Chains A and B, each alone.
Chain A
Amino acid sequence: MKQITVTVNGTVYELQVKSWATLLDMIRDDLGLTGTKEGCGLGECGACTVIMDGKTVNACLVLAPEADGKEIITIEGLSRGGQFHPVQEAFMEQGGIQCGFCTPGMILSTKALLDENPNPTDEEIRRDMAGNFCRCTGYTKIFESIKAAVRKGDT
């Protein structure tokens, strides 16, 4: 067991974790934040995407002990006081969601993309979202959601 201190969605947690537990296990099992999904466990689908110290990572490939001292944002940390984040709003309005299993990861990757590059080209959107696999939508409405989020950011 390892003792770690980690900030998740603004709250500081002191946790005992198994040294071989992943950040995903910690978020889901220890903190009960099940919005972060496991699709493949191998870094291939992006369903487990969280933002760690400002950068998106696959929580399934990060060890829980590696998160010691880090600041993490999960999907549960995006909306504040009942207010949706503009990216969340855009996905709802544009139909960028079907089954919803990829959605938390998609939204966090979009947020990270727009934080870094507030006005991405279509090509940049396609390139930067490649780590988030969606089987349902065929991506068209996801692209539209991201572009709508860009417009919301402009106003």
Chain B
Amino acid sequence: MKTTSRIYTALVFIFLFAPIAILLVFSFNESKSLSVFGGFSIKWYRELLHDEATLESVRNTLLLAVSAMVISTVMGTAAAVGIQKLRSKWLRTALSTATDIPMTNPDIITGISLMLMFVFVGRLFGLANSLSFWTMLIAHVTFCLPYVILQVLPRLRQMDPSLPEAAQDLGCPPLRAFFKVVLPEIRPGIVTGAIMAFTLSLDDFVISYFTSGAGFQTLPVRIYNMTKKTVTPKMYALATIIFFVILALLLISNLTDQNKKKPNQ
């Protein structure tokens, strides 16, 4: 029994990490070949550093992810507060269902429909090429928003609704009352929502592919475009770096999470 489960675990880990291990190894391959390891080298990493277009796309991706995160977090929180404040239960359910739809919608549908809309509206205003950073930003905010709402809404529901009233009662104007007593209560939801928005935006390829213009490419789109030509080990190097950056972020967030939990319990 014990050995079976050990073998099983080992197999799972092999399947999970073997591709990454191979990627790692070949990113340090001297030769371009995928079958022969021609000796250790960091030349692909060096080459990557001089690939201005790729670096540009990294910057674009980060810029887009941060902007989308900030905007969708603020808008999503405001929307959640608005939904929660609705008196009619029916309207409340209807609205939160409506915000769930984009999440279940396949990316490709969202991507195509957004592209259509941007091009259509662009034509209305007589623009030849309406796709840009701004259209991508709108697209990313659109698909991040429901996730933020989904994280914040339950926090608002759990909160004692008399908290903001108590703050007002004790002399806070309504907006201040929100920042002083509601925000601390729903902060964990907002933070989780923001992290989700950031990762979703970083990660997204399909919707970005449809809504990116010639002038503004994100990293996933850039990588896809590179694979259409020739696959160079430079991309393995890039993928390896991304993997380790994400791993580091994951470790940091897990560690800080544990630190936070201790004093409460």
User: Is the A/B pair a real complex?
Assistant: no
